[in-house]
Structure 1
Amino acid sequence: MLPLMIDSADFSQKLGLISRNVEHTEAFLARGTVDFHLPGFMLPVGYRLIKSRYGNEYRLVTIDDGKPYTAYAVRLTFHKEITFPHGAATQVMVWRTPRAVHQRVISGLPQSFFQWVLSEYDIVVSDSEQTGDGQWFWLRMIDWAFSMNYRISVADGTVGEEWHLTPVSSYAELEERWIAFAWRYDRDVHPHPRLVISKA
């Protein structure tokens, strides 16, 4: 399915308010985490990049006014139905703080994390719902993927039970043919088109 365009997600509203961010960050830390090393990302002093011990959720956490604060968060899900028989990863719950004090630190983090996901799992599929920021990010990463000679496809699940992947040969073709198809506001159709980036 193509990604449904949505307003800010619930988790964004929760993490966007400092008091609620602190509350959710404390709860995330209390459940158990381990430090995570992201290749190529220089972790500044005062920040920790961590992963949940019990799931595929990652956060960049710092101390803000003496309390733990999430500056960046992302969760991964895994599935095979769209790219069967190959597995794929999807980034869900992607969030980054709007606070200016953290922008220098997180400016390249979403791209670096996406590139790591692709290097680890070979195939990344877009989420079924995206905000305008999510669309912008995917367009940027597709442009990058073309520069790396990776494969870009549109997955269409609107007909029957199987997903049909159509290769996209260029960014120009994506703009001319697929953007309007991939991002729309129709809730009856939105789960059925997705964008796929694969290394092979």
Structure 2
Amino acid sequence: MSPLMIDSADFSQKLGLISRNIEHTDAFLTRGTVDFHLPGFLLPVGYRLLKSRYSDEYRLVTTDGGKPYTAYAVKLKFHNEITFPRGAATQVMVWRTPRAVHQRVISGLPQLFFQWVLSEYDIVVSDSEQTGDGQRFWLRMIDWAFSMNYKISVADGTVGEEWHLTPVNSYDELEARWIAFAWGNDREVHSHRRLVISKT
């Protein structure tokens, strides 16, 4: 299940309109949350970083006209079929507001959160579907991972029952051989290929 390239995701359309964002943020808060501390992120006045009590969903919440508004949202899914027997985390929902007033606050937040996920869970696997923004984010994080001497692999689940992981040794190799292999528009193929970043 590799990065199949898709248009804007459903959750992006829900959070993108202010009225729907307020409605979904209110529902998120009503279900129950706890404050979350992200190392390296200085929480500005007027914002709260929250985790759902009942799922691995995190949101940066503020107010818009006195009503709750999500400026950034991410949800995690955990699995081990791709990196068996090791477990891995996947960000299955990542959204950031396009509104200019919040850009200073959320600038750098997706990278910081990704780095925290990797530090907590050791292995992060790309989602089975990505937008163009998602692909660019992953390429940026792979470049960063190479600078940290982490391990990058391409996981292929198109052959047989098991996933096959192939190490990628440099960003040049990624560009020359693996980007076109891993990302594309063929649902039968590209939803069964992933990128993997591992600390070990």
Which bin holds the TM-score, normalised by the shorter protein? over 0.9
Separation (CA, whole Å) in 2 of partners of 1:77 and 1:194: 14
What's the offset of the Cα at 1:2? Answer: 2.0
Identify the residue that residue 130 of structure 2 maps to in structure 1: 130
Match of 1:94 in 2: 94
Confirm or deny that 1:189 pairs with 2:189: yes
Deviations 1:87-124 (A, max 9, x none): 00000110000000000000010000000000000000
User: What is the identity percentage for the equivalent residue pairs of Structure 1 and Structure 2?
Assistant: 87
1:50-69 correspondence runs (5 A): 50-69=50-69
Count of matched residue positions in the alignment of Structure 1 and Structure 2: 200
1:41-97 deviation per Cα after TM superposition (whole angstroms, max 9, x unaligned): 000000000000000000000011110000000000000000000000000110000
In the alignment, which residue of structure 1 is the partner of 2:105? 105
Letter paired with 1:74: V
CA distance in 1, matches of 2:9, 2:102: 21
User: Superposition RMSD on alpha carbons, in Å?
Assistant: 0.5
Secondary structure at the counterpart of residue 2 of structure 2:
coil
Contact 1:2 1:181 survives alignment (8 Å): no
Q: Which runs of 4+ in 1 moved over 3 A?
A: none
Shift of 1:190: 2.1
Q: Name the structure 1 match of 2:166.
A: 166
Letter aligned with residue 21 of structure 2: N
Deviations 1:14-55 (A, max 9, x none): 100000000000000000000000001000000000000000
1-side partners of 2:73 and 2:161: how far apart? Answer: 33
* Between 1-10 and 27-36, the greater mean CA deviation after superposition: 1-10
Determine helix, strand or coil for the equivalent of 1:184.
Answer: coil
User: 1:8-23 residue pairs with structure 2 within 5 A?
Assistant: 8-23=8-23
Please identify, of 138-147 and 190-199, the stretch whose mean Cα deviation from structure 2 is larger. 190-199
Q: What is the match of residue 33 of structure 1?
A: 33
CA distance in 1, matches of 2:13, 2:2: 24
